[in-house]
């Protein structure tokens, strides 16, 4: 006799009724309803792996805490613990299917995690998926918990994990600019203020400035990471801790700290911590700061590489792709351009976070899903933007040394280096003459008898022009009318 074909579905029931669930699915009826209700972004929460891992960490810590304080038997607690570990290790992420934007303050995400971890545990126990009489997603996996403490805690842990990888990429980008600063340390160029010629500097100094500002951002972001370390586990629904054992909050915190290796702390006022989402706004703002500063650097790279014939043309960016369907040979600065666009998106996401934080009401903010999505997206895009900027642009930048040298030689800005010796008035008059006659400033100074050729050459050395070697001297009083030009 032929064996019966395996069932294609299983029946699950909730307070609204029953549904047929695919037999091989690890998610259940609550996830199925959310998938039907929120087909908005077409992006499941699994697009943010660190959020999925963080959810599993919270469930694992809760199982251990519940076992420790005696509100969950060892067999079930251990099964949940082991199932959660498999999710932490990267398995079953495709089962986290609910959309990143959802109503319900994250309830769908929490239920998705409860169902997946429960059904993994059931399978490990040799039981059928959906055998919730033995192990329940709500009574056991969600024991001592509410969406309102699980979800924000998981989001904070997930953001901390994601930020760590972004900070690693930010430091690599900083180091890339620093290497270019060393490579260009002796390349003189004309500095600019308000897009007008200013005084000379080195290209190395310019790139060192880029590295330094990224280093400051790394410090600020690292400091603001601590905003994510205060959690409200044990608060349950509104912060009163209803349905929890008195020992649960300290126990779950202990296990969360061990599992995540983060310096987590329980909020001193769980009612306030459950209703307030201001820490997300401050955290988002620090990411926006980094995005804006990185965008400014990319603006500079585009300006410095403009041309190559009719622009500044001071540096050469790596040619990454053809730039036009109509102009042969045109190559555009596509890598800095994409980073600019990521920065624009981060600014918009930060505004979304701000509005969502403001929209909270009474004991809960229902809009944490869009807060989480906005910040996760910003960090993810920034990390990837920094990677492509480093690998596909900064590492391959070269200096157009001949052009830079010619511009410095023809620049009247070099006369600023001589003002300590000939005075501002005389320098201004000579600069005006140089512009009108297109003559070399050094020649005009020598011809006016203000300095010897040797002294001019000495003071216009690259080290002194770039300020690496500061020189001051008594300034003689020389009036413009005294000059013989």
State the catalytic residues: 324
- What span, in angstroms and rounded, lies between the C-alpha atoms of 59 and 72? 13
- What span, in angstroms and rounded, lies between the C-alpha atoms of 420 and 417? 7
| Rg from Cα positions in the chain | 31
333 neighbors 317 (Cβ within 8 angstroms): yes
CA distances to 40, 60, 280 from 138, rounded to whole Å, are 26, 14, 28
212 neighbors 239 (Cβ within 8 angstroms): no
| Two tokens, residue 113 | 């995690």
- What span, in angstroms and rounded, lies between the C-alpha atoms of 22 and 451? 90
């Amino acid at each position: 006799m032929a064996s019966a074909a395996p069932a294609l579905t299983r029946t699950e029931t909730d307070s609204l009724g029953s549904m047929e669930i695919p037999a091989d699915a690890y998610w259940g009826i609550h996830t199925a309803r959310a998938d039907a209700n929120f087909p908005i972004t077409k992006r499941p929460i699994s697009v943010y792996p660190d959020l999925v891992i963080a959810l599993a960490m919270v469930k694992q810590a809760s199982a251990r805490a519940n076992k420790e304080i005696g509100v969950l038997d060892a067999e079930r607690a251990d099964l949940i613990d082991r199932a959660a570990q498999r999710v932490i290790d990267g398995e079953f992420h495709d089962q986290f299917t609910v959309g990143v934007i959802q109503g319900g303050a994250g309830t769908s995400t929490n239920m998705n995690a409860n169902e997946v971890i429960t059904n993994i545990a059931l399978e490990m126990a040799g039981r059928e998926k959906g055998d919730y009489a033995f192990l329940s997603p709500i009574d056991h996996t969600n024991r001592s918990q509410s969406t309102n403490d699980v979800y924000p805690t998981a989001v904070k842990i997930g953001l901390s994990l994601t930020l760590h990888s972004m900070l690693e990429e930010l430091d690599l980008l900083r180091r890339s600019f620093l290497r270019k600063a060393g490579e260009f340390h002796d390349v003189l160029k004309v500095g600019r203020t308000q897009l007008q010629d200013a005084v000379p500097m080195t290209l190395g100094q310019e790139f060192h400035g880029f590295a330094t500002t990224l280093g400051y951002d790394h410090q600020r972001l690292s400091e603001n990471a601590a905003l994510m370390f205060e959690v409200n586990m044990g608060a349950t629904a509104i912060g009163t801790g209803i349905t929890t054992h008195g020992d649960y909050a300290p126990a779950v915190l202990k296990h969360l700290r061990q599992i995540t290796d983060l310096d987590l702390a329980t909020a001193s006022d769980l009612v306030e911590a459950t209703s307030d989402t201001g820490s997300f706004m401050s955290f988002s703002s620090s990411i926006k700061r980094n995005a804006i500063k990185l965008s400014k650097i990319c603006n500079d790279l585009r300006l410095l590489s403009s041309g190559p014939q009719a622009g500044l043309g001071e540096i050469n960016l790596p040619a990454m792709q053809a730039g036009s369907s109509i102009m042969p040979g045109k190559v555009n600065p596509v890598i800095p351009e994409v980073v600019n666009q990521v920065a624009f998106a981060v600014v918009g996401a930060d505004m979304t976070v701000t509005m969502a934080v403001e929209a909270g009401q009474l004991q809960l903010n229902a809009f944490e899903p869009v807060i989480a999505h906005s910040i996760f997206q910003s960090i993810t895009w920034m990390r990837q933007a920094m990677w492509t900027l480093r690998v596909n642009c900064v590492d391959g930048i070269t200096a157009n040394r001949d052009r830079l040298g010619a511009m410095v030689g023809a620049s009247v800005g070099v006369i600023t280096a001589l003002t300590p010796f000939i005075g501002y008035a005389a320098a201004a008059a000579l600069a005006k003459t140089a512009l009108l006659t297109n003559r070399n400033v050094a020649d005009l100074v020598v011809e006016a008898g203000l300095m010897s050729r040797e002294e001019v050459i000495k003071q216009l050395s690259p080290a002194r022009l770039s300020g690496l070697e500061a020189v001051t001297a008594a300034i003689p009083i020389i009036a413009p009318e005294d000059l013989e030009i």
